[in-house]
Amino acid sequence: MNEQMDIEVVRTEALRKLGRNVVNFAKIEAAFKQLLSISQVEGTPKTISDQLRKNQARLHKQTLGCLVQEFHKNIMSDPGQSKPTPDVSREEGISISFKVAYDDPDFFKAQKRARSNIVAERNRLIHQDLALLDTSSVEDYLKLISLLDEQNPRLLAHLEELRWMIESLRECLAKFKDLYGDRFNQT
């Protein structure tokens, strides 16, 4: 009876920590979707709203791996990459392009690798570690708990970085709206 109770306690703890990490993976995915949906838009206030809805719909069902690849391609700015020239041919309109720039090429590569590793960790957890879990083994649950505890700080660090990006972008957009909002609300 004591052995059965022990596995229940360990199983409950493992499932609680598994849920915590899965929620953190979901939050990371949602942050990528949010950043990507607003990272490159242009037009009038009306067409930008439509564009944002289309971007959100397109990103809605993308996998974490696809989101990270798109983030690397469209948002991360390689230190050696030339800066894009904005299209100013429109008389009235807005063009928003959100980029994250890195001056240090080694740091840039490390950041890309870290984001790609998060995708690999998530896939390994869901498709291998859990699939091979012996649900009658206390030892397997203890190994899972150890893996989840070791993984969680990396997830939290990525969440913090993405939170900073989202908050920075929101602050910039709010300042832009404060400065120019009346001009575009007349449409």
Of all residues in the chain, what percent carry a pLDDT higher than 70?
86
C-alpha torsion angle, residues 30, 31, 33, 38 (rounded to 10): 140
**Digit-coded pLDDT (tens) for 135-145:** 999 999 999 99
pLDDT at res. 79 = 64
Note whether 147 and 50 are within 8 A (CB): no
pLDDT at 28: 98
Amino acid at 122: R
Residues 162 and 35 sit within 8 Å (Cβ to Cβ) = yes
Q: Which residue has the higher pLDDT, 78 or 87?
A: 78
Quick one: pLDDT at residue 89?
A: 56
pLDDT in tens, 11-21: 999 999 999 99
What is the predicted pLDDT for the residue at 187?
45
